[in-house]
Amino acid sequence: MRYLSYAAPLVATVLLTGAVETPQATALPSVNMEATVKAAQIDPRRPDDTLTPGAQASVLLVEQALRDRQLLDTKWVDGYFGTTTIAAFAKYQKSLGYTGLDANGLPGKTSLAKLGEGRFTVVRVIEPGARVSTGGFVINTRTQKMLAEATRLLGRALVLEQGSYNPGGDPTSAGTHDGGGVVDISVEGMSAATRTSAARALRRVGFAAWVRNPDQGDWPWHIHAAAISDTDLSSQAQHQVGDYYLGLNGLADRGPDDGPKVTIRTWEEYQLS
């Protein structure tokens, strides 16, 4: 009997060792967590169904996994991480026993990895890090590093007026400080130009940051900053970040962005730039 040429190496292996070689298992596809979390902040705030650039393939994998767990209808498996997908992911997080910020609908490292078991791997992981105290306020280590770099760029200290994880601490904050990644910064002693420079430095390192003034609400002059893609963001802060990407001011009126123009980057993207 004459063997085909491509079969010869396998036959030789069987004759010599008695073992049959099998092809390597196909590698699992990967979900880019950075892109997925970005879409989960922006897509729910869009006025249309435009997809977040670079996120579609990863979001589809997440939505397919949610669908197969009967948490998301097939019609919503479209690569768009809108409010329905946010709600479905929050249900999945709650099914794992998570509550509060751990079930906010933003894919966290652990919940995303569990959802992907046997289906996909997770790359470009984002972690807010442990909670720490600075200046008498609680923030997480990711926010701490971002503030330190913004301080270096600005060349002067940034003094906090309010930290993160502060539910109900200031009613005028409308829940934005309930989770992680959000701070208010004092502008005492700053000129108008310095206030703008401070907001620009914060934006450069990955914050959605605005100079707030008393004409906008019941508050004194300050800078409000939300760390883009912090997976501990409250739902209100998630909305602010999404609006920032869409050129809005992060306030209830959803007016045009009145801050300094910079290339929008996350902290992770800034570190790579």
Average pLDDT score, the chain: 92
Position 170 scores a pLDDT of 86
CB 148 within 8 A of CB 202: no
**Looking at the predicted structure, is the pLDDT value of residue 240 above 70?**
yes
Alpha-carbon torsion (120, 99, 47, 212), positive or negative: negative
The candidate with the shortest Cα–Cα distance to 109, out of 219, 207, 218, 229, is: 229
What's the pLDDT tens digit per position in 163-209? 999 998 888 899 999 999 999 999 999 999 999 999 999 999 999 99
CA–CA distance, 164 with 189 (Å, rounded to integer):
24
Give the CA angle between residues 233, 247, 179 to the nearest 5°.
10
